[in-house]
Structure 1
Amino acid sequence: MMRSALAVAAGVLALTPAFVWAAEAKPPIPSFEISTSFVRPDPLPPSKLEMPGGVTVWKDLVYIQRPGFRPLTLDLYTPAGAGKRPLIVQIHGGGWSMGDSRQMAGFKDFPAVLANLASRGYVVAAVNYRLSGEAPSPAQADDVDAAIRWLKAHAAEYGIDPTRSATWGDSSGGHLSAMAALDCSGDDCVTAGVSWYGVFDLTPPPNIPYDDKLFATTNAFLGCKIITCPERVKAASPITHVKPNPPPMLLIHGDKDFAVPFTQSVALADALRKVGGDVELKIYEGANHGWWAATPEATRAFHQRALEDTFAFFDRVLKPSR
């Protein structure tokens, strides 16, 4: 049977008209341009969107490509008009292990929040960074610093005033916001910082017995068991980096926070005040982690209040031009 089938196939091929083969001939491969540099611009640039209020969003700008890791990106929201605008670097939360640049707290459409902030006279960068499953600390803080340096290096291109900048984050992003504000050098320094319900001292509480499950998120972030690596804990704790003349900071926390005790914000505020820092501490009575509360109305009110306090702080310390 096999020999018969092959014979039939051969006969069919022998009878195929020559013009069929000519029609299926592949076109020649053109001579493509070759780069003279290993580092090249993306030939498929990030998409550019227009949002309400005259805001332009540049999605998925690559700010660094580290060998062995995915390209790290940010979304950039720029206001209408010319001139240099203050820069706000927004850092998402998620226990250092999840989340992305388009999520924060309970907001259903967080990019709309960032676009509204940009329309008030700011350039807003929402940053993605390596998660703890990809690399342990200090990778996350290093990535935020790299994003700040990239943004300042591209200040002229995007209308950024590199002398006026702030970080803003929630939860683990609040931790990274404080790290960027308090532990910096040169071009990765900012002039202000905002943290919502952040953790600032990773030292294990003396009154809580160690348990792998209880500290699993922090252990994954540090790349070690929290009780075995005190130097790494110290290096990753923003409170240990407080020094004279810190940038102005706004710390907001709920007194019913189940994940991060509000005493974390109280302790950092005290440390900043001891060195003469300009710090605003706001404790929301009845607010849980992520601004969740007993009723949907209260949850919505805490989200709105946090935005109002945060935007007012930015206006005070960065003085945007609209």
Structure 2
Amino acid sequence: MRRLVQLGLLLLVAGAGWIAVTQPENLPFELPSGPTAGSSNPGSSVPSRPAPNGTLTDAALNALVARQPISVQALRARKYPGSALTVRNTLRAGVNYSRQVVSYQSDGLRINALLTVPNGTPPKGGWPTIVFNHGYIPPAEYRTTERYVAYQDAFARAGFVTLKSDYRGHGSSEGEARGGYNDPGYTIDVLNAAASLKADPRVNPARLGLWGHSMGGQLSLRAMLVDNSFKAASLWAGVVASYDVLATDWNPPAIGPKPTLDRLNRRYLRALSPNALLRDLKGRPIQLHHGTNDAEVPYSFQKALADDLRAAGQSVEAYRYEGDNHNLSQNLSTALRRSVAFFKANL
């Protein structure tokens, strides 16, 4: 999976017209032409070449980034109507909540999801709700009712509605699974899941949060920056470092030099990352959990996001679990208890 991510990030670079160069003052390539996103002049375009010193202005770089479908800017320009939640199958109930496989519409695709709803009469305005975003599972192996059972149960027992989306192309959901890092599809599914929940009378749309694990951490962070109605997010072992860090520091080769980026490519990938827009959170809190012995996603990614959040003046609480793995198996009950308390305080 990590090699696929690195390849995807390199494709993002290539798709934007960038190439690795050793002498940025002599760049032989052309940047994409066309209208500048967000420009007041529809006929304007990104300059076809960098400035003589091998740089782009911030405005030109941001316009280039905004044309990439995965960018937060491009995702903000889309609509997320969602749909009514359609019950596909009623499952055995939890201790104090119901469980159903439901579906909703996203980009014209039917996406399945696992919905939990607390028993009893909802509080005034509806139940607080968590959009639950799972990590990478091979799409053909994915099943709506498998994995993350204890995680979702902890939030459901605590009185939260939860919705765990399959994402497109997973299990029996429609569409093509194209990954969560260089394609916007999964993020679009998360945002349409949220829109579907907001329309449900059992849900309080003003008390909406995100939980994400691994790849789901990246999806959650991006979704929170697109939709201001998300009040808080708890991210576990998230792939949440900036894209330039992911391209060079995720699973580097055991032998030989670590991948490198020239100055322009690093600047471009940094600008494309959700991390570049953290000031837009405007104080909405983020909670982070990560084990130091995570063999899938390095602990340094949590530290990178925490540093970025603090530099952006945002609220963050970060938990480090010494020696624990990607699923926080040794500290699961502690981490879940902390996440439940976090959502109770912030939703």
Equivalences for 1:13-32 in 2 at 5 Å? none
The alignment covers a number of residue pairs equal to: 245
Q: Percent identity of the aligned residues?
A: 27
Residue 244 of structure 2 is matched in structure 1 by: 203
Query: CA 1:153–1:81 in structure 2 vs 1: closer, same or farther (change >3 Å)?
Result: same
Q: Distance in 2 between matches of 1:233 and 1:102?
A: 36
Residues 218-252 of structure 1 deviation map (CA, whole Å, 9 limit, x = unaligned): xxxxxxxx999879855763312311414211111
Equivalences for 1:224-243 in 2 at 5 Å? 233-234=269-270, 237-243=273-279
Query: CA 1:78–1:261 in structure 2 vs 1: closer, same or farther (change >3 Å)?
Result: same
**Of the candidates 261, 277, 294, which is equivalent to residue 298 of structure 2?**
261
Residue 334 of structure 2 is matched in structure 1 by: 305
Residue 15 of structure 1 is matched in structure 2 by: none
Residues 37-60 of structure 1 deviation map (CA, whole Å, 9 limit, x = unaligned): xxx999x9412234232311121x
Q: Does the Cα contact within 8 Å between 2:84 and 2:104 map onto a contact in 1?
A: no
User: In structure 2, the residue corresponding to 1:203 is in which secondary structure?
Assistant: helix
Q: Does the Cα contact within 8 Å between 2:87 and 2:100 map onto a contact in 1?
A: no
Equivalences for 1:211-222 in 2 at 5 Å? none
Structure 1: unaligned runs, 5 residues or longer: 1-39, 105-109, 215-225, 292-298
Residue 151 of structure 1 is matched in structure 2 by: 197
Residue 191 of structure 1 is matched in structure 2 by: 231
Which deviates the most, 257-266 or 72-81? Answer: 257-266
The code of the aligned residue for 2:304 comes to: A
User: In structure 1, the residue corresponding to 2:318 is in which secondary structure?
Assistant: strand
The code of the aligned residue for 2:100 comes to: W
Residue 271 of structure 1 is matched in structure 2 by: 308
**Of the candidates 127, 131, 137, which is equivalent to residue 165 of structure 2?**
127
**Of the candidates 118, 128, 136, which is equivalent to residue 86 of structure 1?**
128
Q: CA RMSD in A?
A: 3.5
Residue 103 of structure 2 is matched in structure 1 by: 62
Residue 219 of structure 1 is matched in structure 2 by: none
Residues 240-283 of structure 1 deviation map (CA, whole Å, 9 limit, x = unaligned): 23114142111111112222221211121122223332211001
Q: Distance in 2 between matches of 1:41 and 1:282?
A: 37
Q: Distance in 2 between matches of 1:114 and 1:149?
A: 20
User: In structure 2, the residue corresponding to 1:77 is in which secondary structure?
Assistant: strand
Q: Distance in 2 between matches of 1:64 and 1:232?
A: 33
Q: Distance in 2 between matches of 1:164 and 1:240?
A: 26
The code of the aligned residue for 2:88 comes to: P
The code of the aligned residue for 1:262 comes to: Y
Query: CA 1:192–1:96 in structure 2 vs 1: closer, same or farther (change >3 Å)?
Result: farther
Equivalences for 1:109-124 in 2 at 5 Å? 110-124=148-162
TM-fit CA distance, 1:313 = 1.1
Q: Does the Cα contact within 8 Å between 1:194 and 1:250 map onto a contact in 2?
A: yes
Residue 139 of structure 1 is matched in structure 2 by: 185
TM-fit CA distance, 1:142 = 1.2
**Of the candidates 205, 210, 221, which is equivalent to residue 167 of structure 1?**
210
TM-score relative to the length of structure 1: 0.65
Q: Does the Cα contact within 8 Å between 2:278 and 2:314 map onto a contact in 1?
A: no
Residue 34 of structure 1 is matched in structure 2 by: none
Q: Distance in 2 between matches of 1:176 and 1:191?
A: 15
Q: Which has the higher contact order (CA 8 A, sep 6+)?
A: 2
Query: CA 1:116–1:50 in structure 2 vs 1: closer, same or farther (change >3 Å)?
Result: farther
TM-score relative to the length of structure 2: 0.61
Q: Distance in 2 between matches of 1:176 and 1:207?
A: 20
Structure 2: unaligned runs, 5 residues or longer: 1-82, 171-175, 256-260
